């Protein structure tokens, strides 16, 4: 399967599970992804002191991260000009528009953002970069739309060393429990079998930092959560 067909198949999968996606997410993460997202927002706001005209959330899905950018900005007393969600899945963004009518959503791939050069202050992608087939192209595109000194914020499930009891517990959950629960909620077991395999085929956090460096970013903050299930990377455009 070529890259374009592979990307289209992933988008179709998210269209298929859009209606149950939020419910499955909360159940499978037991709600702890909420704290991961809040931490990402808070750490970024602490680093970026300039006025924020535009935050772009790529692979925005149903808009969860956009909601946290707005919520945490209010807590921090920060004014945001605009929050824009970008995703290739019509099904996911349709759900997002119902949840967050105050935000703007556009249909687009991560490699071809419908934005001008150096226009965004912050660009985030949460649990979406491993689904981008042409990842390095996407990082170059993120660099293009971000202002110099702006931040790319990545939350992702990263691959880790296969050793120890904790890895065994995590591996059992991801490969045996998660597909069954996700499949039951969504009636699409294949989509939730894809998740552990997509993580296994993804990068370690250090490899991710190297790719960001090649695209003109300097990593300023990195943190792993919950037995290294999730990793937060905040990098500034040089």
Structure-block tokens of residue 111? 């490699």
Determine the number of helices (DSSP H) and then strands (DSSP E) in the chain. Answer: 10, 7
Q: 149-160 pLDDT, tens per residue?
A: 999 999 987 766
CA distance 201 to 161: 13
Q: 90-147 pLDDT, tens per residue?
A: 999 999 999 999 999 999 999 999 999 999 999 999 988 988 989 999 999 999 999 9
Q: Where are the domains of the chain?
A: 3-160+203-237
Which residues does 107 contact at the CB level (< 8 Å), separation at least 6?
86, 87, 88, 89, 90, 93
Q: Which CATH number fits domain 3-160+203-237: 3.90.45.10, 3.20.20.10, 3.40.50.150, 3.40.50.300?
A: 3.40.50.150
The pTM is what?
A: 0.82
Least confident of 22-36, 49-63, 114-128: 22-36
């Amino acid at each position: 399967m070529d890259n374009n067909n592979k990307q289209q198949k992933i988008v179709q999968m998210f269209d298929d599970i859009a209606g149950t996606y939020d419910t499955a997410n909360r159940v499978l993460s037991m709600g702890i992804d909420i704290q991961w997202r809040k931490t990402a927002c808070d750490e970024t706001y602490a680093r970026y002191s300039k006025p924020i005209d535009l935050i772009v959330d790529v692979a925005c899905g149903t808009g969860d991260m956009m909601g946290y950018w707005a919520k945490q900005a209010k807590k921090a007393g920060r004014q945001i000009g605009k929050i824009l969600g970008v995703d290739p899945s019509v099904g996911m963004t349709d759900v997002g528009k119902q949840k967050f009518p105050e935000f703007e959503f556009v249909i687009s791939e991560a490699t071809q953002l419908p934005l001008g050069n150096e226009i965004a202050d912050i660009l985030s992608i949460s649990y979406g970069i491993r689904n981008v087939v042409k990842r390095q192209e996407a990082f170059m595109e993120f660099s293009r739309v971000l202002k110099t000194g702006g931040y790319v914020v990545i939350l992702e499930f990263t691959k880790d060393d296969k050793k120890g009891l904790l890895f065994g517990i995590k591996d059992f959950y991801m490969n045996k429990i998660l597909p069954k629960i996700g499949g039951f909620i969504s009636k699409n077991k294949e989509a939730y079998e894809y998740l552990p395999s997509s993580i296994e085929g993804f990068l370690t956090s250090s490899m991710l930092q190297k790719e960001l460096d090649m695209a003109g970013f300097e990593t300023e903050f990195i943190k792993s959560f919950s037995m290294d299930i999730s990793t937060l990377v905040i990098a500034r455009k040089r």
